[in-house]
Structure 1
Amino acid sequence: MTAVHDDDHGPGEGARPARRVARVLIDSPLPQLDRLFDYEIPAELAADAQPGVRVRVPLRSAGRVVDGLLVELGEPEASDRPLSQLEAVVSPVAVLTPALYALARRAADRAAGSAGDILRLAIPKRMVRAEKAWLAAEPPAHPRVDEADAAWAADVLAVYPGLAEALDGGERLALDAPPVPAQLEDGTVVGSWAVLLAAAATRVLAAGRSAVIAVPDHRDRAQLEAALLSRIPADAFVRDDAKQSGPARYAAFLRTLADAPCVVIGNRSTVYAPVADLGMVALWDDGDPLLAEPLSPGVHARDAALLRQELHGGALVFAGHTRTTDVERLVAVGWVRDLPAARRLSPRVVLSANREGESRAARVPSSAFAAAREALVDGPVLVQVARPGYAPVLVCAKCRHPARCPHCGGPLHAARQGAVPTCTWCGRAAHAWACPECSSTLLRMASSGSERTADELGRAFPGTRVIIADGDHPVTEVDGRPALVVATRGAEPLAIGGYRAVILLDGDRMLMAEDLRIGESCLRWWSNAAALAARGAPVHLVGVGGEVARALATWTQAAYARAELADRAPLRMPPTVRVAAVEGPRRAVDTALAELRQAVPELDAEAVLGPLTHEESVRALVRFDYGLGARVTESLRASVVSQAVKGRRPAKGRTPGAAHTLKVRVDVPDLDL
C-alpha cells in the first residue's frame, strides 16, 4: 500500500526531509487507520528502526502513543509538512517479514477487513525473556533428514501415484486420506492421515524447504506430532498452539523466523507462520468449524492457505476423510487437482434399519446390537451419539410440546434419571413445571445424551466396561480390551488396534438441524468415526437413508460434494457464490448497499437478500460471483471506513468508536438472515 501522510500526526521537532522515513502500520481496531503512516526516524533510532520491528508512535487524534509495526523504509514525500518522529523501537527483532505483510494485506482486502487484525492473529505477543534467550542463542542449523526416513516418506507417498512429484512441483492437491488407524514403531496409535501428512512434510524438509500444517484441535495435533517426531530432527519441529504458554508460543514463532527450514504444526492461525522457503501448506479436515476464524475479519484457514500458496508458491494439500463443497468447487474449476490413491480403501459400512416386527422406537436395531455383541468378544466398540449429558431435550409427556423454563424460556434438560429438570440457559431448577399448552406436569425424554446412552447400554451388556467420551469426559485413547465407548461426535478416542465395530446413532436427529451444510457435516462426523474402525470391522449407520447415507456406505464423499454443488448452483447458494453479511443501523446498511450497487452494477436484482431486523440492528446478505469479489469487498470496506470516520467525534458521554456500528463479514457459510 502506498504510504500517506495524515492530519493525525503533529509536527515533529527537528524534522529533516532528507532522512528516510518509517512507514508504520498502527495497531488499532479502527478501520480508518488500516494504512501505512509516515514517521521520521530520529538519529538515535536509525540503527534499530528496520523493517519488521515493533515500534511506538504518537497518534494525535488519540492523544497518546500507540504500538505499531514498521513495514518498510522510504523517502519522505515532496512536501513541506513536517513528520512526527518515532517514539521508540520496542524490540530489534523483525517479527514482520515482507511476505507475511503481503499475505495479511491480501487476506484482509479479500475479506473487507484490516491487515492489523490478521497480524494480531499471526504474531504472538512479545515475551521479553523468550526474546532475550532467542537473541543469545546460536542460529538454528539447517536440519538433515536421514536417508532411511526420506526412504520411508517415499514409500508412504507412493500409495498416491505422482504425489511425491506433485509436492516437489508445488501443485495444489486434494487427497482422500486412508480411513484406517495406524500404529507407529513405538506402539502409538494415530490416524493414517497423520502418517501421510508426516511423510509429505518429511519429504519437503529433506529437500531443504519448510512445511506448515494446520489441524483443527489438540487431538489432531498430538497425532501428527507423534508421527512427525519419529522421522524428523527435533530441532526442525515447531509446535504452534494457542494453549501454549505465552513464552513458549513466542519462542516457537521466533524459530519460524530463522533461515533454517522447519515443520510447523498447529491450529488455524498456523497458516500464517513466516517460515523460510515455504515448500508446503497442508490442511487436515478443512470442513471442521474450528478452522473457521471467529475473530475479525474471519478469514478461514482454507482461504488463507490458498492465498499463501498463490503468493509464495510451494505445494498446497487439502486432506480429509470427506470432501467439502468448497474444495470440490476448486477441483471442478481446475484450481486444485484431485489425486486418488492407487488402491481405494473403505470401511465396511452397513445401513441398519429396524427389522420386520421390531419397534420403530428401538434406538439400536437388532442387527447393530448383534454386531456390537459379537465385536465385544475381541475388543472395544464405538457408539457415536449426537449430544452429551443424560437427557438433553425434554418435552411434555402428554402433548409433546417442548419443555421450557418458566423464567427465561430456555430449554429444560435432566442431568440424570429422576433428577429435577434444569434450564440450559439460566440454570434454574423447574420444581413445579407445568405445560403451558395442556397443563400436564409430566415430562418425557425426547432424546438421549451420552450419559443416558451409556446407562442403557450398560444394562443391555452387563459386565462390560462402559466409557463416556464427551466434552465433560475427555478421553483421547482406549486400550484394546472389550469396552463400549459412548462418544459424542468429534470426541471419539483412538483405540489400539482399531474398534471392532462402530455404531452411529442419532443420525436422523443430526440431519434435522436447520443448516445448509448439515448433510456435509453429518457425512464428515460419520466418516471420521468410521475411520477409527479396524480393517474389516462393521460400521453401522442407524436409521438414515438417502444420498448422504449412500455416500457413506459407498465411501464416495467427493461425489456427494459434487451433487451438493450441482443442487446449490441454481439457487445461488454458497460456495457456488460468495456471500457477504452487512449489519448495522438501517441507514448505514442502506447507504452501503446503494454504494455497492453503484460500484458494481453487474450485481443482479436478486443479489441482495434483506435487510431484515436482526436483534438491535438490520442485516442484509449480498451474493456475488467470485470474479466480482475484489470490487465488492472494496466497496463494502469503503462503506465501513466512511461510517467509522463519521463516528470519530462521538456525542457527549460516548467513547470514541462507539458510533462505528457498520459491520461486514465476507464468505459467510450459510444464507442465514
Structure 2
Amino acid sequence: MAEGPVARVLIDSPLPQLDQLFDYRVPERLREFARPGMRVRAPLRTGGRIANGWLVELVDESDYGGRLSELEDVVGEVPLLTSDVWRLVRAAADRAAGNASDILRIAIPSRYVRVERSWLQANADAASVEAGALPDEAEIEGFEAGRVAAGIAAGERLALGADPRPVRLASGAWVGAWAVTLAQAARTVLAADRSSLLVVPDHRDQEQLEAALAEQVDPRRILRTDARQSGGDRYRSFLDATGEAARILVGNRSTVYAPAARLGLIALWDDGDPLHAEPLAPGVHARDAALIRQEQSGAALLFLGHTRSVEVARLVEVGWVHEVAPARQVRPRIVLTEQQDAPEPGSARIPSAAWRQAQEAVAQGPVLVQVARPGHTPMLVCDRCREPARCAACGGPLAVPSAGGQPQCSRCGTAATGWRCAVCEGTKLRAATVGATRTAEELGRAFPRARIILSDGERQVSKVGAEPALVIATRGAEPVADGGYRAVLLLDGDRMLLRESLRVAEDCLRWWSNAAALAAPRAPVFLVGVGGALGGAFATWRQTEWAATELATRQETRFPPAVRMASVVAASDRLAKAMEAVREAAPGIGVIGPAPADDGLERVIVRFEYAAGSRVAATLKAEAIRAATERRRPVAGRRPGRPPTLRVRLDDPELP
C-alpha cells in the first residue's frame, strides 16, 4: 500500500486500454500543488515515457499492492476539470464506447500561461461578482404566464416552439424572437443566482443571442466559449467560468461541457442542426451530452426551435421531455408553388407568381432567395433520365465548379471526359441544381437596379439593412434583415430532397422554416417545387405533427431514433469475434452486413434498443481494447505487426 496521498490520474491518450484511472504517489515536493482537476505529467511504464493527464481525485490509499510510481509534475496553477464536468465526460464516453480523454480535449481549451497568470493576479471572479449585479426575474413571453419559468425552477425538460418572426431590440438591432426567449429564460435563472449554458449551432445564432442577452443582464455576466475566439480569449472565458459567480455561457456544441457554478439551465437552440453533432471521436451529440448533464445536475433543459427534431419527438412521446405549446400560434404566410417546366427567360427558375411578388417587394426592402448550394453549377444529372451524374473513377458527384468551367468530379477532381450514364447510356449532362453564384448572376441581369448580396460559406454575411436588395443565400447562411424580408423565395426544394439521407426531409423542413422565420409580418414566403405531406406541414406550420409522423414511420422500419445504431469497422476475423461477443451480451440485437470498408476492412451496422445501450457500448469498448492490446505472431525477418484495428462509432449521424 502506498504511503501519503495517492493521485488517481486519467492519461491523455487515444488508446482505449488507457481509458481508466491510474494511481500515482504524490511526492512531497508536489503535495502543495496537486489538487483534483489539475493537469499533471505522469510516467508510463512502457518505454519510460512521460504522459500528460488529469488528476481526477486524491485518495489516502491505493488498492494496488505494488510500489506506485510518482507524479512527475503538476501543470498550471488553476484546477480546470471540475467534478461535475468529469462525471459528465465519463458518462458520455461510456455511452459512446469512447475515451474520456477524447472528450476532455474538446471540453477544455489549450492552456495559455500568460493568460492564466494575469487572470490569477486580477482575481477576475471576485471583481465580476462586485461589478455584475444580479437581475430581476423576467417573464418569458409567448407562453402561458409562468409556465416556462415554473418548469425551469423545477428542473424540468421542456420542448418549446419558437416564435417565427424577427423582433427589434431596444438598441435598434433586429434578432429572431427565439433569441429573446432564451435571453429571458437565462435572466430568470440568473436572478436566482444560478448559471446557464446556452448552446447554438453557429456564430450567426450566437451574435443574435448575445445581442438579446445584453439587454436582459449585465454583459459582464455573459461569457463566450466558442471556437471563433482567439485561443487566449477562449482560455480566459473558461477560467472565468470555473469561478463561483453565476454566469451565462454562450457558444457552440462544446459549451455543454463548460464548468458552471450552480447550474440551473441548459438550453439548445435548433438541436436538429448538424453542427450540434461532434465530428471528433467519440462523436457525442450535444443533445445527448445535455440530457446526461441535466440528469446528473438537476438543472432545467430547454429544446427550442422552429422545427422539432425526430429525436426530441421521441423524448416527448416517451414522456421524458414535456411539450409546452405557444400561447398564441404565429406562422408566416407561406405559398406553395409548382416548378415551371419552361421558366420565363431571365426568371432564374422562379415561378411567375413568385417573380411578380419579388419585383414588388424588392422596391420596398430586402428580398431573400434561398438556394441549395454555393458555386455556379454544383450538381449535374443525365439529360435523358435525370439520374445524378457520377464520376467513373470514384463514384463522386459531377459538377461545374465555376462559370465556363468543365464538368469534373467534386470528390477526386477527375474530368468528366467521355461520360456515359450508367442507367440509360445517355451522354449529355444538364444542370440539376444551380448554385448561389449563378443565381446571383441571373438575378443581377433581371433586376439591374437592385443591389445583389451573396451569402454562402465563402462570403459570410450576418446582417443586412432595410434598404432594397436581393439577398441570395445558401441554406443556413441567411442573414437577418432589419425589419424582416419583404419576401422570401425558397428555390431548389425538390433538388434538396434528392440528397441520399434518412434525414433529408427533416433537414429541408428545418432549413425552410428557419428562412421563413426571417420574413416580415405578412410577407409572402414561396416554396418552389415541393408539395405533398412535407410541403403541407411547412405551409400550415405543423412541423411538430410532421416530426411525430416521421417518428412513427421510423418505428415501423426500426431506424434511428426509434432504435440506436453503431458502426463497427475491423478485419473480418476480428469483426466476427466482436459480433459474437455483442450477441452474447445483448441477445436480440440486429446486425447488418458485413460490407467492404476502407483499407481492406469490413463494416457492420449493429441495431439495438435503448435498454441494451450500456451493454452494447461496454462490450464494443472491451473488444476495442482487446484488439488494441493483441499482438500478431512475429514472422522471421519481418518487423512486429501492428495490433488489429477495430473502430466503433455509436449513433453515427451518417447512418444508415
Short-chain TM bin = over 0.9
Report the 3-state secondary structure (helix = DSSP H, G, I; strand = E; otherwise coil) of the residue aligned with 1:298: coil
Task: After superposition, give the CA deviation of every residue in 1:489-531 in whole Å (9 maximum; x if it has no partner).
Answer: 0111111100011111111111121111111000000000000
Q: Which residue of 2 aligns with 1:9?
A: none
CA distance in 1, matches of 2:578, 2:342: 61
CA distance in 2, matches of 1:52, 1:356: 64
Task: After superposition, give the CA deviation of every residue in 1:560-592 in whole Å (9 maximum; x if it has no partner).
Answer: 010011111121110011111111111111111
Q: Which residue of 1 aligns with 2:610?
A: 626
1:613 corresponds to 2:587 = no
Alignment-mate amino acid for residue 463 of structure 1 = R
CA contact (8 A) 1:575 1:669 kept: no
CA distance in 2, matches of 1:530, 1:143: 43
TM-score calculated relative to the size of structure 2: 0.93
CA distance in 2, matches of 1:597, 1:22: 38
Q: Which moved more, 1:415-424 or 1:528-537?
A: 415-424
Kindly report the root-mean-square deviation, in angstroms, between the aligned alpha carbons of the 2 structures.
Answer: 2.7
CA contact (8 A) 2:131 2:220 kept: no
CA contact (8 A) 1:53 1:96 kept: yes
Among 262, 265, 288, the residue aligned to 1:280: 265
CA contact (8 A) 1:396 1:435 kept: no
Q: Which residue of 1 aligns with 2:643?
A: 659
Alignment-mate amino acid for residue 84 of structure 2 = A
Q: Which residue of 2 aligns with 1:137?
A: 122
Alignment CA distance shift 1:578-1:402 (3 Å)? closer
Alignment CA distance shift 1:144-1:157 (3 Å)? farther
TM-score calculated relative to the size of structure 1: 0.91
Alignment-mate amino acid for residue 611 of structure 1 = P
CA contact (8 A) 1:279 1:314 kept: yes
Task: After superposition, give the CA deviation of every residue in 1:319-350 in whole Å (9 maximum; x if it has no partner).
Answer: 11100010011011111111111111110111
Alignment CA distance shift 1:160-1:303 (3 Å)? farther
Unaligned stretches of 5+ residues in structure 1: 1-15
Alignment CA distance shift 1:231-1:78 (3 Å)? closer
CA contact (8 A) 1:264 1:270 kept: yes
Alignment CA distance shift 1:53-1:146 (3 Å)? closer
Q: Which residue of 2 aligns with 1:339?
A: 324
Alignment CA distance shift 1:407-1:108 (3 Å)? closer
Alignment-mate amino acid for residue 668 of structure 1 = D
**Offset of 1:405 from its aligned partner?**
6.2
Alignment-mate amino acid for residue 599 of structure 1 = A
1:645 corresponds to 2:632 = no
**Offset of 1:158 from its aligned partner?**
5.4
Alignment-mate amino acid for residue 629 of structure 1 = G
CA distance in 2, matches of 1:515, 1:399: 21
Q: Which residue of 1 aligns with 2:541?
A: 555
1:254 corresponds to 2:249 = no
CA contact (8 A) 1:110 1:630 kept: yes
Report the 3-state secondary structure (helix = DSSP H, G, I; strand = E; otherwise coil) of the residue aligned with 1:388: coil
CA contact (8 A) 2:343 2:349 kept: no
Alignment-mate amino acid for residue 355 of structure 2 = F
1:330 corresponds to 2:315 = yes
Alignment-mate amino acid for residue 520 of structure 1 = E
CA distance in 1, matches of 2:169, 2:459: 26
Correspondences of 1:481-560 after superposition (within 5 Å): 481-560=467-546
Task: After superposition, give the CA deviation of every residue in 1:454-488 in whole Å (9 maximum; x if it has no partner).
Answer: 22222333322222211122211111122111111
Paired-residue identity, %: 53
Alignment CA distance shift 1:356-1:505 (3 Å)? closer
Among 429, 441, 461, the residue aligned to 2:447: 461
**Offset of 1:406 from its aligned partner?**
7.5
Alignment CA distance shift 1:667-1:661 (3 Å)? same
1:108 corresponds to 2:84 = no
CA distance in 1, matches of 2:194, 2:420: 66
CA contact (8 A) 2:267 2:304 kept: yes
1:36 corresponds to 2:36 = no
**Offset of 1:418 from its aligned partner?**
3.7
Q: Which residue of 2 aligns with 1:156?
A: 141
Q: Which residue of 2 aligns with 1:228?
A: 213
**Offset of 1:435 from its aligned partner?**
3.7
Alignment-mate amino acid for residue 664 of structure 1 = V
Q: Which residue of 2 aligns with 1:18?
A: 3
Q: Which moved more, 1:114-123 or 1:397-406?
A: 397-406
Unaligned stretches of 5+ residues in structure 2: none
CA contact (8 A) 1:375 1:500 kept: yes
CA contact (8 A) 1:330 1:336 kept: yes
CA distance in 1, matches of 2:322, 2:620: 33
Alignment-mate amino acid for residue 413 of structure 1 = A
CA contact (8 A) 1:159 1:343 kept: no
CA distance in 2, matches of 1:381, 1:241: 31
Alignment CA distance shift 1:524-1:395 (3 Å)? closer
Correspondences of 1:247-646 after superposition (within 5 Å): 247-353=232-338, 363-395=349-381, 411-427=397-413, 433-436=417-420, 444-601=430-587, 603-604=588-589, 607-615=590-598, 616-646=600-630
Task: After superposition, give the CA deviation of every residue in 1:202-259 in whole Å (9 maximum; x if it has no partner).
Answer: 1111110000011111111111111112222222111001121111111111111001
Q: Which residue of 2 aligns with 1:242?
A: 227
Alignment-mate amino acid for residue 579 of structure 1 = M
1:168 corresponds to 2:153 = yes
Report the 3-state secondary structure (helix = DSSP H, G, I; strand = E; otherwise coil) of the residue aligned with 2:136: helix
CA contact (8 A) 1:181 1:531 kept: yes
CA distance in 1, matches of 2:549, 2:70: 59
Q: Which moved more, 1:385-394 or 1:574-583?
A: 385-394
Report the 3-state secondary structure (helix = DSSP H, G, I; strand = E; otherwise coil) of the residue aligned with 1:629: helix
CA distance in 2, matches of 1:649, 1:110: 33
Alignment CA distance shift 1:62-1:322 (3 Å)? farther
**Offset of 1:624 from its aligned partner?**
1.1
Report the 3-state secondary structure (helix = DSSP H, G, I; strand = E; otherwise coil) of the residue aligned with 2:116: helix
CA distance in 2, matches of 1:644, 1:439: 48
CA distance in 1, matches of 2:548, 2:426: 49
**Offset of 1:641 from its aligned partner?**
0.9
CA contact (8 A) 2:142 2:163 kept: no
CA distance in 2, matches of 1:512, 1:99: 44
Alignment-mate amino acid for residue 424 of structure 1 = S
